[in-house]
Amino acid sequence: MVGVSRRDIAAAARWFRGLSRRTRFLVLGSLALAAVALIWAVLNDRQEARLIRADPDSLPAQTELMRYAVGHGRGLYQSHCSSCHGGQGQGHFMLGTPNLTDKDYLYGDGEVSDVETVVLYGIRAPDSRTWRLADMPGFAKPVPYEREKAIKPLSPGDITDLIQFLHAIASKPSDATAATRGAAIFAGRGGCWDCHANDAKGDPAIGAPSLADNIWLYGDGSDKWIFQSIAQGRAGQCPGWSGRLSPVKIRELSLYVYSLSHGSAKPKPSLP
Amino acid sequence: MNPAKDAKPAEPKGGWRDITHVSNKRSITVFAIGAVIGLILAGVALFTAKGTSTLVVPPEDVALVNQQPIARSDFYLQIKALYNTDYAQTTPEQRKQVLNQMIREELFVQRGKELDVASVDPDVRNAMVSAVEQGIAADVIASRPSDEKLTAYYKAHQDAYSSEGRMTVRDLVFPTPDAGASAAKALRSGEAVGSVVAQYHGKDSGRVNGEEFYFAAKIHLGDAMFAAARSLLAGQASAPLTAPDGPHVLFMVSNFPPVPNSFAEARSSVLADYQKAAIARLQNGDENFFRKRANVLVAEDMR
């Protein structure tokens, strides 16, 4: 051993024996505490490494890791997400923050990797990797959609017809004549089909919500709220946490958010 | 035996807890605890510090290229984007291919830094400016303003939060000024639009069609006529308005001026506008700071 001779060790032993019982207990206790802390840190580190190395979509089947991550993710959710999505993940219809506890997914299919992509890069967040493929145009504006100038404004009557069409496809009472006109606008000059799909069931690839399921991101589904959405447009934002939270924390947070809408979900089968 | 030499140093009266006296026990204990904590901190700092050269790829990365990490999250995203499928559904060959592409990209980026590409390539420069601006904006987006701040912002900019006004107006053109004046009088007295048009040989201009938002009516009628129309209540007619194609008389069928949105209705827009304003403020502040700390020399003829 470099620099430490047997004589030194003997001197240290003599010094240790010379200490009172209480001091010896304190020294040994401190060392034991440090050892326990070290072991805990190593085990924690290994657990985190397993968590972060795993394919995110395979994690729901790994109960132990899931429990570990969800436990840590809960606190992260409370401090980073609950102010918009609510303490229980129930969302806020005035802010347009979605309910995270149901199985209605705006972006992707609700897999852990889909959730994690949103947690990492956000929605319409200042990050080139964010989800930013489409906004809801505001049809009561001279230029409803800056990114697609071909979309023209609609009249109040057109919007009312569209609302009747939405009621009709959601099997709610509606004016059939107005709904027919609304269907023509939906599939024609309104350009609604382009994002919300021909069947109005939305497109998770661009975050366009289904209009046929009676789940509303903004408002309560009343004519007034739907009119406002169509007239003024929508473009909600969600911050991305890439570079702000560590990769482990991002995964823990993603798994917690995933757990809000899933029980004991099984992962998709993987290739051998 | 020398009793004076063998005697242990006297402990202070209050034992090691008495900090007014020197205590060997306390010194040794504190020294030991300090040493252990110091070692732990040094170890953590050594193995987690940015830039620490290591032969082990951290779990959050898939590779290190000259110690520059390639993030696992970016790797998964790349796989999904390239093959449009989940990671589990891809083959090892596909994964290797993506990893090789990412390593290649990192190598070229590093070479680009060596060549100082940013100083000559406008695309790289634009991307860098955009990235810094986005970084500033991200700080704002990530911090949620309190309801008090949002309410104060809403109150200060209340005019911006209202519904778009709507009107249904008939724009009638008459052949002569006299006919226009008589038609306006008749409409004001409550005669039906159809009979007034027939009686005074008028016609609908065709500029407006059914109920329109204010902005559309303004475009269709023109500024002067829209100003006249806006002030009319349902059932009222304007005075004849001179135009190249003859006198126009506006008859208002229905008029719904803009209604201020409540804070609850406008909340999402208020939040977006608040954040936009905060981003602009922060970006200006940062720009001023960059200018302040920079040594900018401007050519004499440009000052």
Q: What is the pLDDT of residues B244-291, one digit of tens each?
A: 999 999 999 999 999 999 998 898 899 999 999 999 999 999 999 999
> Once rounded to an integer, what is the mean pLDDT over residues A82-103?
91
- Look at residue B84 and give its three-state secondary structure: coil
pLDDT for res B41: 87
Residue B6: pLDDT above 80? no
Residue B44: pLDDT above 80? no
Average per-residue pLDDT for chain A: 90
Q: Do A193 and A243 share a domain, yes or no?
A: no
Residue A33: pLDDT above 90? yes
Asked if the Cβ–Cβ distance from B215 to A142 is below 8 Å, we say yes
Asked if the Cβ–Cβ distance from B272 to A53 is below 8 Å, we say no
pLDDT for res B48: 67
Separate counts of helices (H) and strands (E) for chain B: 11, 6
Window from A130-139, B21-30, B73-82, B183-192 with minimum mean pLDDT: B21-30
Backbone angles phi, psi at B153, to 5 degrees: -65, -40
> In chain B, which among 13-42 make CB contacts under 8 A with chain A?
16, 25, 28-29, 32-33, 36-37, 40
CA dist., res. B90 & res. A168, Å (int): 42
Give the single-character DSSP code of A270: P
Q: Do A19 and A39 share a domain, yes or no?
A: yes
Q: Do A119 and A242 share a domain, yes or no?
A: yes
What long-range pairs does B256-259 form, CB within 8 A, spacing at least 24? B256/B165, B256/B166, B256/B167, B257/B165, B257/B230, B258/B162, B258/B163, B258/B164, B258/B165, B258/B214, B259/B162, B259/B163
pLDDT for res B16: 67
Asked if the Cβ–Cβ distance from B29 to A267 is below 8 Å, we say no
Residue B234: pLDDT above 60? yes
Do the Cβ atoms of A215 and A103 come closer than 8 Å?
A: no
Which residue does chain B place closest to A116, by CA atoms? B73
Place of tokens 């394919």: A55
Spell out which residues of chain A touch residue B210, defining contact as CB-CB under 8 Å.
155, 157
pLDDT for res A128: 87
Per-residue pLDDT tens over the stretch A218-235: 998 999 999 999 999 999
Nearest to A95 among B59, B137, B268 (CB): B268
Asked if the Cβ–Cβ distance from B216 to A155 is below 8 Å, we say yes
Q: Which of B17, B213, B219, B286 to mutate to test the interface with A (most CBs of A within 10 A)?
A: B213
Domains along chain B?
Answer: 61-141 (no CATH), 166-256 (3.10.50)
Which residue does chain A place closest to B26, by CA atoms? A23
- B79 pairs with which residues across the strands? none
Q: Do A187 and A161 share a domain, yes or no?
A: yes
> Once rounded to an integer, what is the mean pLDDT over residues A177-183?
97
Asked if the Cβ–Cβ distance from B211 to A242 is below 8 Å, we say no
Number of structural domains chain A divides into: 3
- B65 pairs with which residues across the strands? B68
Minimum distance, in Å, between the CA of residue A228 and any CA atom of chain B? 8
Q: Note whether B151 contacts A: Cβ–Cβ < 8 A.
A: no
Spell out which residues of chain A touch residue B86, defining contact as CB-CB under 8 Å.
55, 57, 111, 113, 268
Q: Note whether B83 contacts A: Cβ–Cβ < 8 A.
A: no
Window from A18-22, A82-86, A246-250 with minimum mean pLDDT: A18-22
Q: Do A81 and A207 share a domain, yes or no?
A: no
Residue A271: pLDDT above 60? no
Give the single-character DSSP code of B177: H
CA dist., res. B129 & res. B112, Å (int): 17
Minimum distance, in Å, between the CA of residue A122 and any CA atom of chain B? 10
Place of tokens 């959405």: A229
Window from A164-168, A205-209, A263-267 with minimum mean pLDDT: A263-267
Residue A122: is it exposed, middle or buried by C-beta count within 10 angstroms (0-12/13-18/19+)?
Answer: buried
Radius of gyration for chain A, computed over Cα atoms and rounded to the nearest angstrom = 28
Spell out which residues of chain B touch residue A232, defining contact as CB-CB under 8 Å.
164, 269
Q: Do A35 and A104 share a domain, yes or no?
A: no
Q: Note whether B80 contacts A: Cβ–Cβ < 8 A.
A: yes
pLDDT for res B53: 67
Structural tokens at position B163: 């519904």
Asked if the Cβ–Cβ distance from A126 to B134 is below 8 Å, we say yes
pLDDT for res B21: 77
CA dist., res. A178 & res. A123, Å (int): 34
Average per-residue pLDDT for chain B: 89
Minimum distance, in Å, between the CA of residue A53 and any CA atom of chain B? 6
Minimum distance, in Å, between the CA of residue A168 and any CA atom of chain B? 23
Spell out which residues of chain A touch residue B166, defining contact as CB-CB under 8 Å.
156
Residue B162: is it exposed, middle or buried by C-beta count within 10 angstroms (0-12/13-18/19+)?
Answer: middle
Q: Do A204 and A245 share a domain, yes or no?
A: no
Structural tokens at position A131: 């989800």
pLDDT for res B22: 77
Which residue does chain B place closest to A152, by CA atoms? B216
Provide the whole-model pTM: 0.80
> Is A243 contained in some domain?
yes
Please state the ipTM of this predicted complex. 0.76
Q: Do A79 and A210 share a domain, yes or no?
A: no
Distances from the Cα of A103 to the Cα of A45, A98, A171, A261, B152, angstroms: 33, 11, 21, 6, 36
CB atoms within 10 A of CB B285: 11
Domain of A23 in residue numbering reads as: 6-45
Question: At A1, is the pLDDT very low, low, confident or very high (cuts 50, 70, 90)?
Answer: very low
Do the Cβ atoms of B249 and B176 come closer than 8 Å?
A: no
Spell out which residues of chain A touch residue B216, defining contact as CB-CB under 8 Å.
142, 153, 155
CB atoms within 10 A of CB B34: 11
Nearest to A156 among B32, B59, B166 (CB): B166
Residue B1: pLDDT above 60? no
> Once rounded to an integer, what is the mean pLDDT over residues A21-28?
86
- CATH number of the domain at A63, please: 1.10.760.10
pLDDT for res A266: 43
> Once rounded to an integer, what is the mean pLDDT over residues B137-158?
92
> Once rounded to an integer, what is the mean pLDDT over residues A7-26?
82
Q: Do A32 and A71 share a domain, yes or no?
A: no
> Is A149 contained in some domain?
no
Do the Cβ atoms of B255 and B232 come closer than 8 Å?
A: yes
Element (H, E) at B219: helix B214-221
Nearest to A55 among B87, B163, B215 (CB): B87
Asked if the Cβ–Cβ distance from A94 to B144 is below 8 Å, we say no
Element (H, E) at B69: strand B68-71
Q: Do A161 and A224 share a domain, yes or no?
A: yes
Backbone angles phi, psi at A148, to 5 degrees: -145, 90
CB atoms within 10 A of CB A195: 18
Residue B161: pLDDT above 60? yes
Alpha carbon distance, N-terminus to C-terminus of chain B: 92
